[in-house]
Structure 1
Amino acid sequence: MLDRASNQSPLPPEIARRRTFAIISHPDAGKTTLTEKFLLYGGAIQMAGQVRAKGEARRTRSDFMQMEKDRGISVSASAMSFDYGQYRFNLVDTPGHSDFSEDTYRTLTAVDAAIMVIDGAKGVESQTQKLFEVCRLRDLPILTFCNKMDRESRDTFEIIDEIQENLAIDVTPASWPIGQGRDFLGSYDLLNDQLDLMERADRNKRAESIQINGLDDPKLAEHIPANLLEKLREEVEMARELLPAFDRQAFLDGTLTPIWFGSAINSFGVQDLMDGIGDFGPEPQPQSAEPRQVAPDEKTVAGFVFKVQANMDPKHRDRVAFVRLASGHFHRGMKLTHVRSKKPMAISNPVLFLASDRELAEEAWAGDIIGIPNHGQLRIGDTLTEGEAIRVTGIPSFAPELLQNCRAGDPMKAKHLDKALMQFAEEGAAKVFKPVIGSGFIVGVVGQLQFEVLASRIELEYGLPVRFEP
């Protein structure tokens, strides 16, 4: 039987059950749909497409910013926490557009594992490859989900070969698809020797699982047409001969990725992937810091800011710092030291996130991600501790590649523009420079789309039309 994570862990049970991970993919590979199904099966939402609240027209609930809803791209990385079986999942959603990859790089410093989503028809695409390289720099374990198998897709061996060749990582199939496109019936679960059949009629229903005794079980012929069954037997036999078996240590070291084949929109393969994260995924890991590493089971609390998001609630002009807890057991109301300024901070209103919903966090453990509302004291890369002067390292800062002048449509409101740009600079969404001579601001970003996003947000959140000019 496979080595599962339920083996006795030296960590306290509350910390050991946490799984903190991100989902990475090329735009349009299906990451947002997969995120939504995770929330559905974690009991966080009742129907994919809307959260417990009244949920206006079905928007994906992790995409909260107006522009994300209009365009269907994830621009802000949000964090969502929910229980799944015996585990506590902290899912960090990463921006799906390439201009926002710097935000994604920072996000990957706050997680212990990543799920790589690839499109069955397109294989490994450029953005996936870039993000994979960042995961590799951090030795993050990676689980792979090959999505859209219910559409025309490439040959299974071809997809696996491409991952092995392009990403230089061993691949072990956790499931094997049966048919593809219109003929896609489901998959054979290689980890548990069972047949999973896709339900096309109800997109939110779990697949039917049929327990079988190996690939020679006569029961298979009752569910799979003869031609597909013969192909399945041949391919699985070849895969078992040619590809490595699952080895949890190799997976945790980041040298082997298990791959599941499925269809997120049809909810197929999603729960097997979630079981994989729970059973095989890493517990909260030690964090690199100066002058010493921080271990999750230390008695004192330490955490670091990996993202700042302004105006999550446009009515309140708030700023929320996303903090990954690196160690200890946090309680609401605790006084922590802000290491950069050496000042104490009372954390009285920490929040846990569920997409755009938030609730007060009465407590949190190492591995959790909490939001701390503040008025600009917390910046990306800051460390909070119970007094010790340690600084978590490894959060990257990027040089802008594009520079443009930013002017307010109404010159009388230039002061408001100053405030808006400073707020976005603290988020890490842009660098802002003030010329020595003349008025206006120069804004530096990594990708062109960021100018559009900034203009749209300044108008929406501050009621201030602006224009960017080269």
Structure 2
Amino acid sequence: MSQELQQEIKKRRTFAIISHPDAGKTTLTEKLLLYGGAIHLAGSVKSRKTQRHAVSDWMEIEKQRGISVTSSVLQFNYDDFCINILDTPGHQDFSEDTYRTLMAVDSAVMIIDVAKGVEAQTKKLFRVCRERGIPIFTFVNKLDRFGKAPLDLMDELENVLGIRSYPMNWPVGVDGNYRGVYNRQTKEVELFADDINHGQTERESIIGAYDDEGFMSQLDDAVRAALADDIELLEMAGEAFDLEKVAHGELTPVFFGSAMTNFGVKGFLEEYLRLAPPPQPRMSSDGLISPDDEKFSAFVFKIQANMNPAHRDRLAFIRICSGRFERNMSVYHDRSGKPIKLAQPQQFLAQDRQIIEEAYPGDIVGLFDPGIFGIGDTICDSARRFSYEDFPVFPPEKFARVSAKDTMKRKQFVKGVMQLTQEGAIQLFVQAGAGSDSYIVGTIGTLQFEVLEYRLKNEYGVDIVMQMQPFEVARWLAREDGAEILPSSLKGADRGMFVYDRRENPVLLVNNEWALGWIQDNNPDIELYNVPVDRKAID
């Protein structure tokens, strides 16, 4: 292993930011970029009166709605670290995109709203992280507002999520009126100046020793007394810090702050970089692949069309897992079984991009995709051919019949629907025996239909007609003997809708689990699956 490769791996930190909607995920992402020098002025993601929007929300619909609907990739440098942030959608309707993104990271930052605590979507995302053994760092956000007591939030993390917590810092103040934070490692107190520019620039602060009476005299007696009591309680009854437990997702370091007002953000960033793991080994068909393996390998975790409307391009995002990436290198593509050349590699600050010459394990690189890549594809050195572990697939729960309003624009309609399917934004089906003028579209949530309609109109110039369908359950059908399944041979097919996916696999859509049970009981020779039997059946 070359010393250069070893040093580059040690510098990398690749993580996702996860939270319930409106917990401040995109705001924190932007403030990390501010402190990293990647941007020089932060814009409020809340105020629609401001001219700036969150850097990571690059789609026009994201700027209009104030939500993230697709994960963004952001890379910047800070204090000799190279940081890859994946800002994920918080809304549950886009959770499939978030799940795929979590396959590409080495750790996750979980944001908790100080007033709301652990929320529904946070539980789901946390569960995915825990199943994958991803180390989780917690940022309790919105300390500039009144919220729950810090000790109550720690109890909530343990009782609701089942993970022990270790506060790395502690709020200084009483009744939700916080002046600063106490650093438990250095035993120092950082006091912040008033936020006079609405978080657009770095916030000034002063730091002093906790046992420096002169410095601590700046605080009221009640504040000092409350801090002393809390510190004593944490030292006596709190969890001991154990980095091994953090690495295995059993203990979460907790930080308190406010992303909106830059309260505690810099301290969080520096501590995260110190504690978070560098790129980790990945499981493959050839065993565990270490990042310091000299032979290059990567996998595709995201496909995005039309990031640049002027070029109507399509990009495949890869996570580099081992070796050194070089522009124009030739690699083996596991899906096609053919060698391909990796031209025009790009790195990102959301939709802003630049061509790069090289990259290392942990880095996220965008490749121009003429239509050859699919989500989950492995690319590697042709001297050592293997495939990385499969991505999770989620059955759709909402369905609609979609067609072009203007039949003269059918070509653009088909192109747009196909590209969005390849991105993984929707799942596409064709009804058995129906004409080719419409598709059945399946999604995880209803908000995805709004995004589908918006993107077809704005990126492909196509207005659509959408008719919601009553189905909530999709099952792929198969026979053990591999014989073809036809609607006429399936008892109760008329109780739902018989469709085919993009690989012409038969799928049955039904209203509920009861109807599904009836069909299963009356067709004992048919096997039902939540996902395609052949994992490669979906791009």
How far did residue 269 of structure 1 move? 1.1
**Distance (whole Å) between structure 2 residues aligned to residue 187 and residue 422 of structure 1:** 51
**Distance (whole Å) between structure 2 residues aligned to residue 221 and residue 260 of structure 1:** 21
User: Does residue 398 in structure 1 map to residue 394 in structure 2?
Assistant: yes
User: Does residue 183 in structure 1 map to residue 177 in structure 2?
Assistant: yes
User: Does residue 133 in structure 1 map to residue 127 in structure 2?
Assistant: yes
In our comparison, the structure showing a higher alpha carbon Rg is 2
Q: TM-score w.r.t. structure 2 length? A: 0.82
Q: Which of the residues 240, 244, 248 maps onto 1:253?
A: 248
Query: Is the 1:152–1:180 contact (alpha carbons within 8 Å) kept by the matching residues of 2?
Result: no
Provide the residue aligned with 1:53 in structure 2. Answer: none
Query: Is the 1:220–1:229 contact (alpha carbons within 8 Å) kept by the matching residues of 2?
Result: no
User: Does residue 99 in structure 1 map to residue 93 in structure 2?
Assistant: yes
How far did residue 180 of structure 1 move? 5.5
Q: TM-score w.r.t. structure 1 length? A: 0.94
Provide the residue aligned with 2:416 in structure 1. Answer: 420
Larger relative contact order (C-alpha < 8 A, sep ≥ 6)? 1
**Residue type matched to 2:220 in 1?**
P
**Distance (whole Å) between structure 1 residues aligned to residue 321 and residue 218 of structure 2:** 48
Alignment deviations for residues 265-291 of structure 1 (CA, whole Å, 9 cap, x no partner): 111111111112210100100011113
The residue matched to 1:288 in structure 2 has which SS? strand
How far did residue 211 of structure 1 move? 2.8
**Distance (whole Å) between structure 1 residues aligned to residue 434 and residue 7 of structure 2:** 60
Provide the residue aligned with 2:479 in structure 1. Answer: none
Alignment deviations for residues 235-278 of structure 1 (CA, whole Å, 9 cap, x no partner): 11101111113221111111111111111011111111111221
Query: Is the 2:5–2:323 contact (alpha carbons within 8 Å) kept by the matching residues of 1?
Result: no
**Distance (whole Å) between structure 2 residues aligned to residue 197 and residue 45 of structure 1:** 25
How far did residue 323 of structure 1 move? 0.2
Provide the residue aligned with 1:19 in structure 2. Answer: 13
User: Counterparts of 1:265-276 in structure 2 under 5 Å?
Assistant: 265-276=260-271
Query: Is the 1:19–1:277 contact (alpha carbons within 8 Å) kept by the matching residues of 2?
Result: no
Q: Which of the residues 20, 36, 39 maps onto 2:33?
A: 39
**Distance (whole Å) between structure 2 residues aligned to residue 17 and residue 178 of structure 1:** 33
**Distance (whole Å) between structure 1 residues aligned to residue 52 and residue 260 of structure 2:** 14
Provide the residue aligned with 1:6 in structure 2. Answer: none
Provide the residue aligned with 1:205 in structure 2. Answer: 202
Provide the residue aligned with 2:64 in structure 1. Answer: 70
**Distance (whole Å) between structure 1 residues aligned to residue 39 and residue 87 of structure 2:** 16
Q: Which of the residues 232, 239, 242 maps onto 1:244?
A: 239
**Distance (whole Å) between structure 1 residues aligned to residue 164 and residue 177 of structure 2:** 28
**Residue type matched to 2:12 in 1?**
R
**Residue type matched to 1:420 in 2?**
G
**Residue type matched to 1:451 in 2?**
F
Query: Is the 1:432–1:444 contact (alpha carbons within 8 Å) kept by the matching residues of 2?
Result: yes
Provide the residue aligned with 2:142 in structure 1. Answer: 148
**Distance (whole Å) between structure 2 residues aligned to residue 220 and residue 226 of structure 1:** 13
Query: Is the 2:5–2:324 contact (alpha carbons within 8 Å) kept by the matching residues of 1?
Result: no
Inter-CA distance 181–10: structure 2 relative to 1 (3 Å threshold)? farther
**Residue type matched to 1:208 in 2?**
S
Q: Identity of aligned pairs, percent?
A: 45
Query: Is the 2:5–2:360 contact (alpha carbons within 8 Å) kept by the matching residues of 1?
Result: no
Structure 2 spans left out of the alignment, 5+ residues: 45-49, 469-539
Alpha-carbon RMSD across the aligned residues, in angstroms, is 1.6
How far did residue 190 of structure 1 move? 1.0
**Distance (whole Å) between structure 1 residues aligned to residue 323 and residue 214 of structure 2:** 51
Q: Which of the residues 346, 354, 363 maps onto 1:359?
A: 354
Alignment deviations for residues 374-411 of structure 1 (CA, whole Å, 9 cap, x no partner): 12111100000111321111411111111110011112
**Distance (whole Å) between structure 1 residues aligned to residue 220 and residue 412 of structure 2:** 67
**Residue type matched to 2:146 in 1?**
E
The residue matched to 1:134 in structure 2 has which SS? helix
User: Counterparts of 1:262-411 in structure 2 under 5 Å?
Assistant: 262-387=257-382, 388-411=384-407
**Distance (whole Å) between structure 2 residues aligned to residue 127 and residue 448 of structure 1:** 16
